[in-house]
Structure 1
């Protein structure tokens, strides 16, 4: 039995999507970011930092999406979703896995300031503008990298796309993605993948965003 500890529309979607790409079925344990369930001792015993995703598989438990992606792709090379040692795309693959977390950390900062800081700790307009600009710079870099190819790696779809691709659905709440034509085409290719469609149906309703777009506040 595979168990995925999951919050809808969070980074754990990366793993839900990857499992679907690998035709692996997981039992979902659903949590909320606001109800305190991530701080309970029973969850901390599974994920010491109180974060999702956490994956129970092969009689072990792994947390942190990057580590889970590397474990799944290395233990199941027949799925062809990793790039193992000796593969010409190995370095680019690892770079995209790392860049996915760089980009996600900017999104997390914007999420925190727009969505989770209370009135007693108002968000800084200058920081919001800076973080939105930083996020836009990462999208510009992606747009350039996708010029002339369908996926992040020249050799085709990989787990790097499940790591990076998920970010784009949150990024669009803070940056006008439509000016990055290659990124828009990439998003459409992602949306057409059967495994992505299945994963989104399993994911559950997102409860983070209550607006279509969050403008940086005027300084």
Structure 2
């Protein structure tokens, strides 16, 4: 049975890179529909025609015979669906049910536990850069600093320590000592933590080594070339 047409709705400067990385690793054919953020860094309204929330990435699956379409949203669910239905050669799927279950756990962990404090730290850092007259600028800095110190910075540090220890226990990867979809999904937030200066690679050698390993893969390089051709840098 022929696989459906896979259409990726791409948004520049988003977490969509991981989806290209996954599809390249699985050697799946797909199309990219590129969307651009507006002047306020928001996703364009046209994405709401694909999915009501208007977020990206989105995957549109089109039956090659009937033309019937299905839209997948939320990165963790998209990864889970693609692994279940399209990893026919077992490239990333694992026959060990315990190992496979662990991979599924991380597909939820990345978006549910790691991403929130990272996103909050990013928003707080942006708020600190907003210029304004004294004492407004001082008050903004004081409030954002307290939120960071009381919650998001400490929580992000906790999450990073957890990931660091998990990689140490699994021979350089998150699960089972080999590459899985969990490594691909978690790669972007981990890179972001370092790129934003929220942590230093020297303090997390296992995470740093994992990211170095991923960057040597042909699938990563291919995804990076496509992302850069669409106006995003990774």
Instruction: Compare relative contact order (CA 8 Å, sep 6+) and give the higher one, 1 or 2.
Output: 1
Max Rg structure: 2
Q: TM-score, normalization: structure 1?
A: 0.82
Q: Which runs of 5+ in 1 are unaligned?
A: 209-219
More helix by share: 2
- What is the alpha-carbon distance in structure 1 between the residues aligned to residue 180 and residue 167 of structure 2? 14
Would you say how many aligned residue pairs link Structure 1 and Structure 2?
Answer: 206
- What is the alpha-carbon distance in structure 1 between the residues aligned to residue 24 and residue 87 of structure 2? 15
Which structure 1 residue ranges, 4+ long, deviate > 6 Å from structure 2? none
- What is the alpha-carbon distance in structure 2 between the residues aligned to residue 162 and residue 24 of structure 1? 15
- What is the alpha-carbon distance in structure 2 between the residues aligned to residue 161 and residue 45 of structure 1? 31
- What is the alpha-carbon distance in structure 1 between the residues aligned to residue 93 and residue 127 of structure 2? 35
Superposed CA offset, 1:156-208 (max 9, x none): 21111111122111111122232111111111111111101111111124479
Does structure 1 conserve the Cα–Cα contact (< 8 Å) formed by 2:168 and 2:206?
Answer: yes
Q: Which runs of 5+ in 2 are unaligned?
A: 63-68
Decide whether aligned partners of structure 1 residues 32 and 180 sit closer, same or farther in structure 2, where only a CA change above 3 A counts.
Answer: same
Residue 217 of structure 1: aligned partner: none
Q: TM-score, normalization: structure 2?
A: 0.77
Superposed CA offset, 1:92-126 (max 9, x none): 11221121112122222222222368557946112
Decide whether aligned partners of structure 1 residues 39 and 203 sit closer, same or farther in structure 2, where only a CA change above 3 A counts.
Answer: closer
Question: How many Å apart are 1:35 and its aligned residue?
Answer: 3.5
CA RMSD between the two structures:
2.5
More off after superposition, 66-75 vs 101-110: 101-110
